[in-house]
Structure 1
Amino acid sequence: MAKPITMSSNQAQNTLTPDMRNDIYSALLSGTGIRNIEATLDHEMQASGFKSNLKAYIIQLFRSGECTTFDQAMARVNEKIRHDTQQAKANGSSTSATTNGVNGTNGHSKDKESDDYNLKLPDEVVTAGARTLGVELEKVCDIAVDK
């Protein structure tokens, strides 16, 4: 394995330089770091029902004619994820609606309204992703505590 990237705790807390960021990306890519992070996020999104809900929302966008291109759909999806996540924070809700991946939220069929699709990023996805990211960064970074 390559030599760990050394930085001070101040450097780790501040915005990283483009060179430092590239070094970290390269170190993560040269091992299994990126694949482990992706696998964790994929597993948690699948387990929480987020991926099923996302797929249903995208299908609804195309079937309804609201979107006709990939770029339009991606813009709408990103906007909805941000909106639903911010809405949940504003409402103080830390849980998202339960989906069964077939008939919609809590077994109720979905109609054409996009509000029926909750695309809030589930807390378990964020928690597991952050935990895995920390583990993988510790493998490639050596943070020296400033005195």
Structure 2
Amino acid sequence: MNDLLVAHGYPALFLLSFLASSLVPLGSEWLLVTMLLKKHDPVASVAVASIGNYLGACTTYWIGLRGGDFMIRKLLRIDENAQQRAEKLYTRYGSWSLLFSWLPIVGDPMCLVGGILKVRFINFSVLVFTGKTIRYATVAWLIHRGMSTAW
């Protein structure tokens, strides 16, 4: 499966990044790292991963905005405890907490809570896309730095 995803490059990175931020509990960083090690363009790789992950988060936001308990609990598999943790973070830090929507465990529920609380979509978009891009850019930078010092 890993070889299949690597062989499909950018489309696979987009799909995996999208799914990792929406319906399926996956990680997409490993494919970004693999592609960078195989000399794919770092700017394009970070852009594709960020856009895919952002659009997956938008899906989760939409489910929070329009979906019911079935979609939240069964489709996204976000339990009540994770949702409550995300709501507490949101209550404490406001919409700025969406910058950390890339974090494991609370990230997807934070996007869901953004929809439930009807955060303005433009605010949601700017904060979530920025946070996700910073995460992927940091991974790419670390790989680039590691590759340049290893030789």
TM-score by length of 1: 0.27
- Structure scoring higher RCO (CA < 8 A, sep ≥ 6) equals 1
Which of the pair has more CA radius of gyration? 1
The answer to which structure has the higher strand fraction is 1
TM-score by length of 2: 0.26
